[in-house]
């Protein structure tokens, strides 16, 4: 067993850079899409609201793997201009998908800020943009934190899908190893679980932190 681990470990380590790279970019863009779409969803303009709603429902309502294949295989073929870059396709698919989910958190949190806060800022004659930026959004952000942490962990786990478009992440290297050495399967998948878990640990910690900040509310 120890020998097997010693054999498998360095192979998986070859994929760690890809996994972490895909994760970091996906996390950044997921948040970006989530904030943009979430703010559009509370816009005054019904076309902006409706259009964003369509995006959110389509990406929430279909499979992430299929979206990934669309971006990487189908769209380049249909339009001839496409994403021949695996990293870009992988990150885009994950971010569009999780951005859609998380935009609902953004929207829900903004709507959950007490109505009196808006009224008080109208009474102080703040503009619409100032109301959102100075009063509503900072309070909504605190409500978003715990859920945002949860999604961060999910995004990490979703990065394993990019092995399906040939990105050489830890799962990809593990699968290759297993196909050449079938008896290594238990060790490979055990180690993969441990890899993901160890990478998730700081995120779990972050989520806890987010929960604390959120629970403490806004007063300290």
Partner 1 sequence: MVDSVKEKNSSGSYSSNTGPIVEYKNVHKSFGDVEVLKGLDLDIYPGEKVALIGPSGSGKTTIIRMLMTLEQPTSGEIIVDGKNLCHMEKNGKLVPANEKHLREVRGEIGMVFQHFNLFPHMTILQNCMTAPIQVQKEDKESAKRRSIEMLEKVGLGDKLDNYPSQLSGGQKQRVAMARALVMRPKIMLFDEVTSALDPELVGEVLEVIRDIAEEGEMAMVLVTHEMDFALEVADRVIFLDDGVIAEEGTPSEVLEESDNERLQQFLYRFRS
Distance CA 160, CA 13 (A): 14
Binds partner 1 (CB under 8 A): choice among 32, 74, 85, 138: 138
| 93-124 residues labelled b (16+ CB within 10 A) or e (exposed) | bbbbbbbbbbbbbbbbbbeebeeeebeebeee
User: How many residues of this chain interact with partner 1, rule: CB under 8 A?
Assistant: 23
Q: Does residue 124 interact with partner 1 by CB under 8 A?
A: yes
Stretch that binds partner 1, among 65-73, 129-137, 164-172, 190-198 (CB under 8 A): 129-137
Here the tokens at position 87 are 């990293």
Show the binding pattern over residues 75-114: x = contacts partner 1 (CB under 8 A), - = does not. Answer: ---------------------------------------x
Give the Cβ contact number of residue 128 at 10 Å.
Answer: 11
Three-class secondary structure assignment of 28-49: HHHHHHHHHHHHHHCCCCHHHH
Binds partner 1 (CB under 8 A): choice among 6, 122, 193, 194: 122
Which residues bind to partner 1, rule: CB under 8 A? Answer: 114, 116-117, 119-128, 130, 134-135, 138-139, 142, 217-220
């Amino acid at each position: 067993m120890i020998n097997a681990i010693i054999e498998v470990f360095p192979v998986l380590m070859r994929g760690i850079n890809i996994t972490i790279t895909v994760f970091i970019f996906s996390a950044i863009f997921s948040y970006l899409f989530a904030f943009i779409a979430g703010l559009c969803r509370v816009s005054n303009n019904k076309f902006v609201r409706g259009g964003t709603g369509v995006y959110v429902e389509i990406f929430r309502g279909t499979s992430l793997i299929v979206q990934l294949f669309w971006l990487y295989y189908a769209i380049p073929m249909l339009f001839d201009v496409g994403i021949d870059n695996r990293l870009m396709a992988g990150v885009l698919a994950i971010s569009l998908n999780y951005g859609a989910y998380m935009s609902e958190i953004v929207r829900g949190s903004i709507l959950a800020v007490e109505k009196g806060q808006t009224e008080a800022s109208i009474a102080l004659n703040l503009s619409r943009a100032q109301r959102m930026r100075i009063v509503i959004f900072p309070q909504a952000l605190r409500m978003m934190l715990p859920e945002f942490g949860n999604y961060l962990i999910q995004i990490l786990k979703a990065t394993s899908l990019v092995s399906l478009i040939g990105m050489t992440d830890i799962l990809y290297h593990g699968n290759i190893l297993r196909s050449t050495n079938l008896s290594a399967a238990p060790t490979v998948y055990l180690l993969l679980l441990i890899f993901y878990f160890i990478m998730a640990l700081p995120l779990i910690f972050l989520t806890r932190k987010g929960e604390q900040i959120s629970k403490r509310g806004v007063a300290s």
